[in-house]
Amino acid sequence: MKSFRFPGRHGYAVEVSPFFPDRLACASAQYYGIAGCGTLLVLEQRGSDVSLLTCFDWNDGLFDVTWSENNEHILVTGGGDGSLQIWDTANPHGPLQVLKEHTQEVYAVDWSQTRGENLVVSGSWDHTVRVWDPEQSRCVGVFQGHEGVLYSTVWSPHIPACFASTSGDGTLRVWDVKIGSCRLAIPAHKAEILSCDWCKYDQNVVVTGAVDCSLCVWDLRNAHQPVTQMLGHNYAIRRVKFSPFHQTLLASCSYDFTVRLWDYAKSQPLLDTLEHHSEFVCGLDFNLHIPDQVVDCSWDETVKIYTPPCLVSPQPAMP
């Protein structure tokens, strides 16, 4: 396991570069995000070490980060002051742009992945979702319908102009940017839903993770009840991610200080429980380039990079 410590900064989100297999970004905040400033850390794996490539400071906490899908140097973060910041790793002199229309904390940002699109979606505690054109530095759509704060906004990797969102109102919603409205609203949990993610292999499958400690996998074609519900965490689930290499494999992290690996197709879906943090684990991602490599970040001021034991291929026996 590789580790990087950043004293005085508490990790909220981490994402691996879609261009460089050894590069990742972490959005962090001072004083657990309650007060103080934020820092975007850009890290690089070098052999067994993790080093700081560059960092950017902002005057409020940074709660999420997403890499551009079109330019290997560009990132977007969401801040506690209601703004999105666009950064260039090749330009260390502050943000290229600041986009501010939200009136409360921006807790979720994501860059579209479908061909021909170049859009960013953001979710805020002001109960709204906004879609942005970063090239034109403007908001191109405002989406309202959630009755609670927004915790997660994620583009579909399959369907153009489609994203999912989750909220403190206990619903999972699927939106169509072209028509400017919600296509589907699912009362997915009887609790705040802090995260969702799309299956990388099936455009109809989405997973949610909530304050009720459960993960639910949904088939959007028949959303009256979940495909499966998975229990095991002891406190709220902060983030969920599907594997880019295995259709039914996913990971979750939690306020119970753990990361857990699941295969929702199995009768006993919990594969592994990792206890390598001493505080809330808030950020989680799979490496798109290195099979089964996971990165996470925690309020214990560390980023960890590893392959979960359950995914390590057994070595052939010696003759």
The tens digit of pLDDT for each residue in 31-48 reads 999 999 999 999 999 999
Q: Domains of the chain (ranges plus CATH)?
A: 188-310 (2.130.10.10)
- Looking at residue 115, its pLDDT comes to 86
Mean pLDDT of 109-134: 96
Give dist(CA 18, CA 228) in Å, integer: 30
Whole-number pLDDT of residue 249: 98
Main-chain dihedrals φ then ψ at residue 31, nearest 5 degrees: 50, 45
Measured distance CA(70)–CA(20) in Å, rounded = 13
Please write the tens of the pLDDT for every residue from 122-148: 999 999 999 999 999 999 999 999 999
Q: Which residues of 208-221 are buried (b: 16+ CB within 10 A; e: fewer)?
A: bbbbbbbbbbbebe
Mean pLDDT value of segment 223-228:
97
pLDDT band at 314 (very low <50, low <70, confident <90, very high): low
**pLDDT for residue 93:** 83
The reported pTM is 0.96
Average pLDDT of the chain to the nearest whole number: 96
The reported pLDDT for the residue numbered 316 is 52
pLDDT digit string, tens, across residues 234-274: 999 999 999 999 999 999 999 999 999 999 999 999 999 99
Confidence class for position 63, pLDDT limits 50, 70, 90:
very high
Q: In the structure, what pLDDT confidence band is assigned to residue 319 with cuts at 50, 70 and 90?
A: low
pLDDT at 318 over 70: no
Structure confidence at residue 157 (pLDDT): 97
- Given its phi and psi angles, is residue 288 left (phi above 0), alpha (psi -120 to 50 degrees) or beta? alpha
Please name which of 63, 182, 85 lies closest in space to residue 129, comparing C-alpha atoms: 182
Side by side, the strands of the sheet bearing 249-254 are 237-242, 249-254, 259-263, 270-274
Read off the DSSP letter of residue 91. B
Mean pLDDT, residues 300-308: 98
Please write the tens of the pLDDT for every residue from 9-37.
Answer: 999 999 999 999 999 999 999 999 999 99
- Which among 98, 79, 103 is positioned nearest to 87, based on CA atoms? 98
Calculate what percentage of the chain has a pLDDT beyond 90.
Answer: 95
Token pair belonging to 84: 């999105």
The one-letter amino acid at 91: N
**Buried b or exposed e, range 169-190, using 16+ CB within 10 angstroms:** bbbbbbbbbeeeebebebebbe
CA–CA gap between residue 284 and residue 298 (Å, rounded): 9
Q: Are strands 120-124 and 128-133 parallel, antiparallel or unpaired?
A: antiparallel
pLDDT in the model for residue 144:
97
**Would you place residue 317 in the very low, low, confident or very high pLDDT band (cuts 50, 70, 90)?**
low
Q: Which is nearest to 145 in space by CA: 118, 115, 173?
A: 173
CA-CA distance, 262 to 145, in Å (whole number)? 31
